[in-house]
Amino acid sequence: MSDELDRIRREMHAVLQQPGVRPDDSLQITRRTFIHRSLLFGAASVGQTFAWWPLLNTIDVAHAAEAPFKFAWISDTHLYERSLNTRFVDKVVRAVQEVQAMDPPADFLIFGGDLAQLGKIEELELGVELLKDLTIKKYYIPGEHDWYLDMGKKWGELFGQPNWTFDHKGVRFIGLDTVSRGPDYWTVKKMTPEERMGHMATLDGTVAGAWAGVGRDQLDWMQKTLADWDKSKPIVIFSHNPLYEYYPPWNFWVRDWREVNEVLKPYTKVTNIHGHVHQVLYNEIGSMRSIGMLATSWPWPYAPEGVPKLTKPMIRADPGDHYDGVGWETVNVNADDKVDVEYIMWGRKEVFVQSDPDSSLSQPEKLRPRMADNMWPY
Amino acid sequence: MTIRATVLGTLCRPSFVVAIAAVAVFVGPTSAHKAPHTPEQLKLYEDLLMEEVRKGDLLFHGDAATAKQMNVVLSTTGMACAMCHPMASDTHPQSYPKFQVETSKFATLRDMINWCIEKPNQGEKIEIDSEAMKALEAYIHWSNAGSVLVPGKH
Ligand SMILES: [Fe+2]
Ligand SMILES: [Fe+2]
């Protein structure tokens, strides 16, 4: 696994990171930090003492917006039914309240997938009910947890087409479906829908395989969608999975990232914002930059290998505080043509690792994939 | 007399005692005529380990049937160990025993497993030397094989 990953990473470096090929200069990262004041509401409880002073990360992303605006991102809520788990419900409520309280308000919300935990009708409907309190325009892309119980039937009824595009104040936005084109691992093994979903809902499962991908049909659609767009104008692409290769065993990638890069190559200001990883991530591939967002539910640890060198890691979360290591984001497009991504991590004043012991990467790991899920049936 | 004393001395080595316990069923009463390990014995040891790893893997990933069979309630929130620790990542079994911030104690991996069961998962903690604990420990260690031993590392 590691050798294969090494090989692909060398290839990615050779193909996509040729000398001089980077996101446009206006896309350089300049991190500034400041204390956010607009979040001072709601009931503080134990463990949240520090939660109201998130350190905000600023990344200058794009330019040429016609007017300043901001939008919000929430993803990976992984809702169970209320009767089983209210912890995740509480955190969605909190995120929704905080987005609703933004002043000036966000122009729209992107929901980045994994609304449900096991793809159940009740879970998806609970998500709709909770997000109803948010009155701004909402756009949804699916996560794998939303999809594989009924193959997207309920999700489609609730949210419509999983990929879409719109222009807003000089920026072209695209939502991609990176989850629905997984290989069929269930028919031969005669799995029930619940069994199919169970394998898909296990991040380190070995049965569902390399399910994350954009697909030729959707790549063609994206190419057509961008055909009339000025090569130097900003594009923001939302996807559940990162559009590059980070760690395939957890589908922290799309398997057709090479083709994605082919389509995006002519455009110089492409920003990809993605969920699924439940962690702070930053990478540049060719002329695209990619930013990983927090979950509201729980943080995933960084993978044992492949963390992009450009990522400033987030702090290791306190496992006893389920408001730590999670949160939501605002993306702020300024009058000076810059876009700031702000991580609002509830448990923390400092989102980023300040010293070695605060980083899960300070203790290297060598891990084996699990074995029991391939012994079918159990 | 001399030979006998040597055999007894050998038997007192802990590793030997463990090995005998495991294969007692095959070799019968201890005798002075010990043979080297056979490939069959080594296969047996490996199979015994992998059976524990398999059970531990299933428990760690929230498999309801295995939990029921082993009579444990590791979680009541829908959370499973692997949801924060895919492939047993971020468990660092090779760093124990160490001071554990969560419990303010010098703790073993088993202490920490129980803390995770009781606190984040809101399950029922398990006996420290129970079958389920051994299986979980076997899986975590097996998955982390290759990580470097660093006692006490936070
Ligand atoms: Fe997720
Ligand atoms: Fe996901």
> Would you call A84 and B82 a contact, using CB atoms and an 8 Å cutoff?
no
Please tell me the predicted confidence (pLDDT) of residue A229: 95
Beta-ladder partners of B107: B98
Q: B79 CA distance to ligand 1 centroid (A)?
A: 13
Tell me if B149 is assigned to some domain: no
Question: Smallest CA–CA separation between A301 and chain B, in Å?
Answer: 7
CA–centroid distance, A357 to ligand 2, in Å, is: 28
ipTM, two decimals: 0.82
* Sign (positive or negative) of CA dihedral A348, A351, A355, A360: positive
Query: What digits encode the pLDDT tens for the residues B133-151?
Result: 999 999 999 999 988 888 7
Average pLDDT over residues A280-292: 86
**Predicted confidence (pLDDT) per residue in B48-70, tens digit:** 999 999 999 999 999 999 999 99
Question: CA-nearest residue of chain A to B88?
Answer: A367
A169-226 pLDDT per residue, tens: 888 999 999 999 999 999 999 999 999 999 999 999 999 999 999 999 999 999 999 9
Stretch among A46-60, A74-88, A255-269, A360-374 having the lowest mean pLDDT: A46-60
> Residue ranges per domain, chain A?
2-359
Q: Provide the CATH number for the domain around residue B136.
A: 1.10.760.10
Q: Is A139 exposed, middle or buried (0-12, 13-18, 19+ CB in 10 A)?
A: middle
Q: A254-268, B27-41, B47-61: which has the minimum mean pLDDT?
A: B27-41
Map tokens 């809702």 to a residue: A79
Of A280-289, B124-133, B138-147, the range with the highest mean pLDDT is B124-133
Residue B148 falls inside a structural domain = no
Instruction: Please provide the CATH number assigned to the domain covering A2-359.
Output: 3.60.21.10
Nearest-10 crossing angle of helices A121-131, A87-100: 30
Instruction: Give me the pLDDT at residue B15, please.
Output: 44
When pLDDT is cut at 50, 70 and 90, the band that residue A59 belongs to is very low
Distances in Å between the Cα of B121 and the Cα atoms of A87, A93, A319, B83 are: 11, 21, 10, 10
Q: Does B58 touch chain A (CB under 8 A)?
A: yes
Residues with CB under 5 A from ligand 1 (ion): A 76, 114
**Residue A358 pLDDT class (50, 70, 90 cuts):** confident
Angstrom distance (rounded) from CA A314 to CA A358: 9
CB-based contacts of A311: which residues, under 8 Å, 6+ apart? Answer: A280, A281, A282, A283, A292
Which residues of B are less than 8 Å from A364 in CB distance? Answer: 147-148
Q: Which residues of A touch B61 (CB under 8 A)?
A: 202, 370, 372-373
In chain B, the residue whose alpha carbon lies closest to the alpha carbon of A360 is B90
Q: Give the pLDDT score at A373.
A: 86
pTM for this structure? Answer: 0.83
Interface residue B49 vs chain A (CB under 8 A): no
CA of A144 to the centre of ligand 2 (A): 5
Residue-number span of the structural domain to which B100 is assigned: 2-143
Number of domains in chain B: 1
Would the CA dihedral through B63, B66, B69, B70 be positive or negative?
Answer: negative
